[in-house]
Copies of this chain bind each other. A is one copy, B any other.
Amino acid sequence: MSSTIHVDLGDRSYPIVIGSGLLDGGFDLAEFVHGSDCMVVSNETVAPLYYEKLLPNLSGCDVASVNLPDGEAYKTVSTMQTIIDGLVETGANRDTTVIALGGGVVGDIAGFAAACYLRGVNFIQVPTTLLAQVDSSVGGKTGVNHEKGKNLIGAFHQPQVVLIDTATLATLPDRELKAGLAEVIKHGAICDAGFFAWLEENMEELLQRNPEALVHAIRRSCEIKAEVVAADEREGGRRAVLNFGHTFGHAIEHCQGYGQWLHGEAVAAGMVMAAKLSGLPAGDVERLANLLASAGLPVEPPPIGADGWLGAMGLDKKVQGKKLRFVLLDAIGDSHVTADYDQGRLDEVIRR
């Protein structure tokens, strides 16, 4: 059993296929490998769990592989180059396909390598973490971090297909499951009040890893993200709502050192700050904080200090014309991007 979401991007359109048990040959991925050569990029944690299970999905292909060290700290140009080195060593040509098997870090680095190798080769995402399944594997953003900021170096490079086997979540550590739920909650908060309410009702099921609940949450998240991306692929405007909580969240990650706070944890605390900056009724801010807390996520940032916040945010990609831009909520399920925010309220939020 699987269901498919179509990401509508003209000649860069692609399907997201979601189901439980799609690895072990449950889905013919080889159909999306245009030549016969592919390079599976994974990491030292995920490869022992799922690499062998992926192979039956690539029947008839010549499969090479490269494993990266695990962790956000390795999301660098240098790690990207190890993938390029692997492609060069195998003599990979323009018909080769890079397949990312792992979480968001693996997907972002592998996608960037695919974007750059010979100025762009085909790419497939097989995300194995909740965060990657609901967020980073969809939409074509790839890239690596710079020591001064996250994702400062990268490319838009859409995959040929995203294959989501929810069975891979069985081995996901609790903390990472919760971090992924932050982005699921984000999708409800910015676009869909009904989905937000469903999450309030079903958070316990999700934490218990009820398969049906997980498939529903992942599917609805991917649908929301696919709609937003189809309307604005290169983030000229609307797509930026997907960054709700991320301006504050990136600042947290930057100030704490990447990897101390998981991305989803930083975004969770960032979303509560952004909701306060939005001037939402206190009851709505509380609903958001309660839902995040029920998912086991932090709702308060670490002590960073006002200067720390502003310095870190001054480098944020969402700055345009040297004025900060924020995603604000008009209500639960409704959001917009603006540089016209209440400065006093921002001071309050970062000084509290």
Instruction: Show the binding face of A for B, using Cβ within 8 Å.
Output: 35, 77, 81, 84-85, 88, 91, 93-95, 115-120, 141-143, 146, 148-149, 151-156, 234, 314-315, 317, 319-322
Contacts and interface: CB of A to CB of B under 8 A. Distances in A.
A120 B153 contact: no
A115 B155 contact: yes
B120 A152 contact: no
A122 to B, nearest CB: 13
Contacts of A319: 91, 93
B119 A155 contact: yes
A120 B234 contact: yes
Contacts of A320: 93-95
Assembly stoichiometry (copies): 2
A119 B93 contact: no
A155 B117 CA distance: 8
Contacts of A91: 314-315, 319, 322
A85 to B, nearest CB: 8
Nearest to A317: B118
A116 B88 CA distance: 21
Nearest to A81: B77
Contacts of A322: 91, 93
Contacts of A115: 155
A153 B320 CA distance: 29
Contacts of A153: 84, 116-117
Contacts of A120: 155-156, 234
Given A77-B77, A84-B146, A93 B317 contact: yes
A88 to B, nearest CB: 5
A269 to B, nearest CB: 24
A88 B149 contact: yes
A117 B234 contact: no
Given A77-B81, A88-B315, A315-B88, A155 B116 contact: yes
A26 B263 CA distance: 50
Given A154-B119, A155-B116, A321 B35 contact: yes
A62 to B, nearest CB: 10
The listed residue with most B CB atoms (<10 A of its CB), out of A93, A148, A156, is A93
Given A93-B319, A93-B322, A120-B234, 15 more contacts: A84-B146, A84-B153, A88-B148, A91-B322, A93-B317, A93-B321, A95-B320, A115-B155, A116-B153, A117-B152, A118-B154, A119-B141, A119-B143, A120-B155, A155-B155
